Structure formats: structure tokens, C-alpha cells
Amino acid sequence: MKKNILKFITLAALLTLALTACGGGQQETATPEPMADAISPSDVVAEGRLEPIHATNLTFQARGVVEEVFVQAGDTVSEGDVLVRLANAGAAEAQVILAQNTYDTLLRNESGDRARLWDAYMKAQIARAEAEIEWEGVDVTAIDDRITELEGDIEDLKDDLKTVQEDFDKYKDLDKDNSKRKTAEDDLEAAQEDLNAKVRELEKETRSRDEVKAAYEAALAAEAEAKHQYEISLDGPNADQLAIAKANLDAAKDALSSYVITAPFSGVVADVNVKVGEQVTLDTLAVSIADYSQWFVETTDVTELEVVDLSIGQTVSIRPDALPDLELTGAVTEISSAYTQSGGDILYTVRIRVDDTDTRLKWGMTVETIFRTIE
């Protein structure tokens, strides 16, 4: 393996230096300069491949004929951009538009209803506050005392009316022009009027308390009802319709995604594998895109004997095979717990974040990784 050859070369170089130093005692030897790329015997060397932070191969989920290709290799795209469209996407697009309009209409109506209910609730709060202030301004104790006083006066007037009624009854059979009968009748009418006036006064006094209290209680009830109506509007009758409309919209978008390929994230188009007029089938590879803002390396040959010496955060030197003049640095971000078996070796994938970058780096390049250890 390549990593074993490198270790062997390094050990051979060190041995040569040692033997040269031990040669004839009288011969002067020049002190060798340290090798910038020296590999320590304790370092772990592995091979790997460069991978962008995000990368995907996009395929069709339906049969059809390619109608439009909107991108070419090297183009920068944003999440949601349409990349390729099939000719039979029109019906699916119409369904999305219809479902979107239905959902938007329900959403606007619900928002409008909710706004009106919120406004009614706020107005009910104001009305309740005004009624509360008025009720707090009522001297209930004074009114109750006055009512008690008036009720006593009414009882006295009822007694007076009873006495006058008894006097009138003595003369009621006399001629209407009889002076005694007439006087008794006038006294009876006067007593009744006094009683009626006092009853009206009691009623007025009672209303001065009860009407304000009733207005306050009515305002409280109106506020409670307005609040209830607003709260149920949050998940009220339209909620079910909205949920159904949203589900229909999502289903329409899913159907459309079978005929239209969009960018799942922002990045660069790595490859385009279809042309206008081409017949495609299920799973036809259409476009590859990648986000090159951050590079990672995934190893391919770290063995069980080596993985035990690795740790998260460990420093790694990275040397692309195609760029021998370039050395990058990185750090271990993930060590797989699952294994694969190859040629009798138990292998573990190690993921490394590359700290540097270079415009010459390409997706899939093979690299040599040197996991630096401290002796």
C-alpha cells in the first residue's frame, strides 16, 4: 500500500542519516536540514477522496422528454432554482398554481377573519375598562343606605295609605258631593301619590347602582366572548380547510418535482448529463451540483490497527496526488463506528475538514492524509 511505502522511505532515510553520522570518526559530516514533509513513524498515513460540504446527483422521477435545460457546468445556482424541465410538466405546474391559489385564498380569508376578531376583542377590552371605571366610581355603600332609608319611608307611607283607606271606606257609600267623602277621597289620592313617588325614588336610586353594575358585568361577558372567538380562530373551522389545502399544495409540488429538477441548495453545477429533446426514464441522472465553500476528505483505508490512534480534532496533513506541490491542513471531525471489509482488512471511514482551499481542487481527487501524532 502507498502509505506503507511512504513509511518505509521515511525510515530508510532516517537510517541512512544515522549510519552516515556513525561513519569514520575523523570525517566531518554536514548536519542534514529537516525535511518539511517528513513522516514520523508514529503518524498514520491513509488515502482518501476530496468531497465538497454539500454534493448531490439529481435524477428524474418520471418519464418524458427534456424540454428545457437552464444551466451548464460551472454555473452558480441558488436553492430552488429550476435546472431542467420535462415537456410534460405543464399539467403538474397548473395543479401547483391551482392548489397555491386555493391555499392563499383560505389563508387571506383566515387572516382577515382573525384580524376582525382581534379588533373586536380589543374594542371589548376598551368597553370593559370604561365600564369598570364607572362601576368603581359608584358609592355603593351610600346608595345602599339611601335604599334602606327609602324602603323604610315606603313602609311608613303604606301604613299611612292603609289608615287613609280605612277613613275613606267609612264614607265611600255617601254621595260623591258629600264633603266628608270628598275630603277622605282627596286624602286617599294624596297618600297614594306620595307612596308612588317614593317607590319611583327607590327605583331610581336602585338603578343608579344596578344599571352601572349590569353594564360592567355585560362588558365583562362581551370581552370574554370576544376573547374566546379570537382564540378559537387560531385553530377554528378554517384550520381543517387550511390543513387540507396545504396537503393538496404539497402533493402538487411533489408531483411537479417528478418533472422539474430544482437545486436543493446553493452551489455550482458540476455536470449536466441531459440535452433538450432527449428521452429520459426513471432515475435518469440529470445534473450534479456541489457546494465548494468547504472541502472534506473521507478516507478509504484506515485499518482497525490505525483507527485506535486517531481522535476527533486531530491535526491532519493533506496532499492531493494530482498537486504534489500543494499541502493542506485539516482536522478530524468524525470517525465512523461502522466498518467495511476489504481484502481481509477491517476499514473505518474517517472524515476530515480541510482548513485551506485551492482553486485547483476538484471533487473526487485522491489525496494522501497524514494524521499527525505527538510522541
> What is the pLDDT, as a whole number, of residue 34?
39
> In a 3-state reduction of DSSP, which class is residue 217?
helix
* Residue 87 scores a pLDDT above 90: no
Q: 317-338 burial string, b = 16+ CB within 10 Å, else e? A: bbbbeeeeeeebebebeebeee
> In a 3-state reduction of DSSP, which class is residue 278?
coil
**142-156, 205-219, 244-258, range with the lowest pLDDT:** 244-258
> What is the pLDDT, as a whole number, of residue 22?
46
DSSP structure class, residue 358: -
What's the CA gap between 239 and 65, in Å, rounded? 40
Place 36 in a pLDDT band, splitting at 50, 70 and 90: very low
Closest by CA to 348, choosing from 295, 315, 308, is 308
> What is the pLDDT, as a whole number, of residue 159?
93
> What is the pLDDT, as a whole number, of residue 21?
46
Place 235 in a pLDDT band, splitting at 50, 70 and 90: low
pLDDT tens for each residue of 259-276: 889 999 999 999 999 999
> Boundaries of CATH 2.40.30.170 in the chain?
40-81+263-371
With residues binned 3-state (H G I as helix, E B as strand, rest as coil), the percentages for the chain, rounded to 5, are: 50, 25, 30
Closest by CA to 71, choosing from 89, 85, 57, is 85
Compute how many other C-beta atoms are within 10 angstroms of the C-beta atom of residue 11.
12
> What is the pLDDT, as a whole number, of residue 31?
41
* Residue 137 scores a pLDDT above 80: yes
> What is the pLDDT, as a whole number, of residue 95?
83
pLDDT tens for each residue of 146-198: 999 999 999 999 999 999 999 899 988 888 889 889 999 999 999 999 999 99
- Please name the helix (run of DSSP H) or strand (run of DSSP E) that holds residue 117, with its range, or none: helix 90-136
> What is the pLDDT, as a whole number, of residue 374?
64
* Residue 7 scores a pLDDT above 70: no
Name which residue leads in pLDDT, 235 or 90: 90
* Residue 326 scores a pLDDT above 80: yes
**97-106, 137-146, 331-340, range with the lowest pLDDT:** 97-106
Percentage of residues in the chain with pLDDT exceeding 70?
A: 87
pLDDT tens for each residue of 115-127: 788 888 899 999 9
Give the CATH architecture of domain 40-81+263-371.
Beta Barrel (2.40)
Place 323 in a pLDDT band, splitting at 50, 70 and 90: very high
Place 295 in a pLDDT band, splitting at 50, 70 and 90: very high
> What is the pLDDT, as a whole number, of residue 283?
80
> What is the pLDDT, as a whole number, of residue 114?
74
Are the CB atoms for 319 and 275 separated by under 8 Å?
Answer: no
* Residue 3 scores a pLDDT above 60: no
| Sheet strands side by side (includes 302-303) | 302-303, 345-348, 340-342
Handedness of CA 277, 279, 282, 287 (dihedral sign): negative
Place 239 in a pLDDT band, splitting at 50, 70 and 90: low
* Residue 352 scores a pLDDT above 60: yes
Place 229 in a pLDDT band, splitting at 50, 70 and 90: confident
Place 19 in a pLDDT band, splitting at 50, 70 and 90: very low
Name which residue leads in pLDDT, 96 or 223: 223
DSSP structure class, residue 35: P
> Boundaries of CATH 1.10.287 in the chain?
101-239
* Residue 332 scores a pLDDT above 60: yes
DSSP structure class, residue 355: S
Name which residue leads in pLDDT, 259 or 331: 331
* Residue 76 scores a pLDDT above 60: yes
> What is the pLDDT, as a whole number, of residue 231?
80
Q: Which residue in this structure is represented by grid cell 377573519?
A: 113
> In a 3-state reduction of DSSP, which class is residue 70?
coil
CATH class of the 101-239 domain in this structure? mainly alpha
Name which residue leads in pLDDT, 196 or 237: 196
